A and B are shown apart, each in its own frame.
Chain A
Amino acid sequence: MAEMTLRPPQLLVSRRAIGYWTVRAAIGWLVLLAGETVLWLNNQQDPAIVYEVVLGITLVAAVLHLVVMPQWRYRVHRWERTGEAVYTQSGWFNVERRIAPISRIQTVDSRMGFFERIFGLANVTVTTASAAGPLKIHGLDRELARELVDDLIRTTQATPGDAT
């Protein structure tokens, strides 16, 4: 018998998610850079070169991360639903695929953070009865997310049982 493998889910998330991921990561880096700058300016005794090197390394890492991560992530983040299951793929450096049968879904909800709202995005969280089981789809177009939530809620209400 030929060995079977899982193919990735078919649907990509919104292209605007790239901007969203970039902005969110940039804020983290800015906080770190700001902290380092404050330390550098308040420095009394240590040689300044130490701070300059650390700051330089941080800056290079930040730029690399901001250029590479969102693009990479955009290629990885995917999702798909069939009549029986929801299938997601997320991550970038490490990749995670999750599959949950629709019959085991307990709740479906959609959230919009501040930055997601700016980019017109929303994430959809599908929870099951397992504390380890939520599926999250990030960076969906807001309209699409709403449709997906409505659709999933309709389907799950029609299928009883959640394996508890």
Chain B
Amino acid sequence: VTTATPATPATTEVDWRRLSVRMLLVHPVVESLRALPVIFGLLIVGSRSGGGGWWSLIGVGVAVALGLLRWATTRYRVTREHIEIQRGLVNRRVVTVPRDRVRSVDITAHVLHRVLGLVKVAVGTGESDRQRHESLVLDGMATGDAARLREELLHQRRPTFASPVLDGMSVPIGAAVGGPATAGPTTAGPPGPAVDAGAGGYTAPVSGPRYSETRLAKLSPAWILYGPFTLSGLVTVGVVLAFAWRTINEAHVNPERVGIVRSVTDELTAIPIGLAVVEVIIAAMIVIAVLSTLGYVLAFWNFSLTRNEAGTLHIGRGLLTTRATTIEERRLRGVELSEPLLLRAVGAARCIAITTGLRVGRGAERGGSLILPPAPRSEALRVGEDVLGQAAPLTTQLVGHPRPALRRRLTRSLFGAAVLIGLAGLLSWGVSEPVWVIGVAIVAVPLAILVGIDRYRSLGHAVVGHHVVFRLGSLVRRRSALSADGVIGFTLRQSFFQRRSGLVTLTATTAAGRQRYELLDVRAGTAVAIANQALPGILNPFLVQAQVQASGPSRSPASVVENG
């Protein structure tokens, strides 16, 4: 228990804090690494590359300088009501977010960060995109500071403000200036343990109340076997190829002259083309499988999901780059069970939290809401149930979608196949026999039909208690259970063709997760019923009996009121 500081005239000033000085080391190194191809080109090939390389290097210098400037001009503080981040040298601007808008804290540290004891902190709020989404990121905070910030933002606001000491202080801030400095001791009850009441501002308690943590899930080494089926290695292959391509370009290396590349191409040109294709495909599969497994280990090593008594979920994972995400459970709007095709084939699934402040699949926040890496489906269901507090939304048998939806899925996928065949036709125009086009068609059409059927079979919905359940997708099948609390509105979309078959696509919009959850091709009546259950009462004025209402949107002239 810390002691309160001596009573001083009450002000609302709280000291600004800075990022760690060690961050000065990180920026130059990271920027230099990024510029490695350029540097490589300059050092190996020297002046032959002309002025371009030097310009790139100057660019690197500018990037480093900007990084340093960013460090020097970034300050942050946590006051009683707000978290404030100040940036900029000339255009100094302060981002202020009320503390009760903080939904999540995401702490990542890559290798260099970890060596220096630093982390990057991203504070997630419930703000929509337009309002400077990226701005609550503090890159280069000392590990201890970050942990303290997280505690302050997510675990300590309620207890602190509920303490009798601060209740006694609950006067408007303006009035507090010059007011009595003896606020703390005058109130009844025991003085709060760690509240700097005298300053009137907010100082972080160093030792707040301790909350217990319960572990909900932990990585089992056997799950690593699912690694190859995640195909995450595809991305790595892409990055490596891009890096190699850049290096070749910058250094003006002729790939033909590199020994390995040359022997491989010689080998492949020597054998029949069919065999060569098969060999390349097998090699690619092996490489991708190995890299995917490696990716799984790197990303999810030490994965653990815990629940803190204070009302947060905590996710920690990562072998080299570590990531620790803390989500406020009160803001959790549901859970998504996601099954990419290959993982589905081997009975595995992932679990993703649907929460505000952490958007799915966007920039820095990507993957922050993953609450279970690819694991056995039963495990995913168990974790989903734990997090939701009930199993039904993830296990209930869903209602399938009407028959015309199948026709629409098939039309879509066959159209895709037709485009592919058309492209093949264009490419082989006059170059070779139409045998290629036929080959593409033989492969693409049955695949398209299979995908179409599978997409139809995936379609499903249900309203389970307080949750609306959506399921769709074949290549990635997602079953999302979205709490009605999180539904912000509904969109009912009908294409010309959907209107003819009486179907509609219902989208629930929300501030959480993917921001939109879709039900493809449900009957209009079903869509209305679902929307009505999720937002009770809101739709009532707009509802009519189905028989009375003709289907077209323009056929109720009696009710039309002209204006303007």
Contacts and interface: CB of A to CB of B under 8 A. Distances in A.
Nearest to B546: A3
Interface string A83-104: 0110101000111111111001
Interface centre among B495, B562, B564 (most CB of A within 10 A): B564
B259 to A, nearest CB: 48
B509 A128 contact: yes
Given A8-B553, A144-B564, A129 B128 contact: yes
B560 interface: yes
B11 to A, nearest CB: 30
B507 to A, nearest CB: 7
A4 B545 contact: yes
Nearest to A127: B128
Interface string B123-153: 0011111100000000000000000000000
B544 A16 contact: no
A87 B544 CA distance: 15
B511 A164 contact: yes
A152 interface: no
Contacts of B562: 12, 15
Interface of B is mostly: mixed
B491 interface: yes
Contact of A94 (B103, B486, B495): B495
A15 to B, nearest CB: 7
Interface stretch (B367-375, B384-392, B523-531): B523-531
Contacts of A4: 525, 528-529, 532, 543-546
B160 interface: no
Interface in A1-28: 2-16
Contacts of A96: 491-494
A132 B554 contact: no
Interface residues on A, range: 35 or more
B490 A129 contact: no
A44 interface: no
A38 to B, nearest CB: 26
Contacts of B492: 6, 96-98
A7 B516 contact: no
Given A4-B528, A11-B561, A127-B130, A101 B556 contact: no
Nearest to A88: B491
Interface stretch (A47-55, A62-70, A74-82, A110-118): A74-82
B500 to A, nearest CB: 12
Contacts of A11: 561, 563
Nearest to A130: B509
B554 A6 contact: no
A95 B254 CA distance: 55
Contact of B559 (A7, A15, A16): A7
A97 B507 CA distance: 10
B276 to A, nearest CB: 40
Interface stretch (B15-23, B204-212, B313-321, B533-541): B533-541
A36 interface: no
A58 interface: no
A161 to B, nearest CB: 10
B413 interface: no
A141 B516 contact: no
Nearest to A98: B491
Contact of B489 (A82, A95, A104): A104
Contact of A104 (B488, B549, B559): B488
A8 B563 CA distance: 16
Given A14-B563, A128-B509, A164-B356, A75 B488 contact: no
Interface string B400-418: 0000000000000000000
Given A97-B492, A132-B515, A144 B563 contact: yes
A62 to B, nearest CB: 20
B199 interface: no
A135 B509 CA distance: 11
Nearest to B491: A98
B114 interface: no
Given A5-B525, A75-B554, A99-B538, A129 B488 contact: yes
B101 interface: yes
B560 A76 contact: no
B545 A94 contact: no
Given A6-B539, A94-B496, A128 B528 contact: no
Contact of B546 (A5, A8, A84, A144): A5
Given A94-B494, A97-B492, A100-B489, 13 more contacts: A6-B543, A8-B553, A9-B542, A14-B564, A84-B537, A100-B509, A128-B511, A129-B128, A130-B515, A131-B515, A132-B491, A133-B488, A133-B516
Interface of A: 2-16, 75-76, 78, 80, 82, 84-85, 87, 89, 93-101, 104, 106, 127-133, 135, 140-141, 144, 162-164
Interface of B: 101, 103, 125-130, 331, 356-357, 359, 485-496, 499, 507, 509-512, 515-516, 524-525, 528-529, 531-532, 535, 537-539, 541-547, 549, 553-554, 556, 559-564
27 contacts: A6-B542, A7-B544, A10-B559, A11-B563, A12-B561, A12-B562, A12-B563, A13-B564, A15-B562, A76-B553, A85-B539, A87-B542, A93-B495, A94-B495, A95-B499, A95-B553, A97-B492, A99-B531, A106-B128, A129-B128, A129-B511, A130-B488, A133-B128, A140-B564, A141-B564, A164-B101, A164-B126
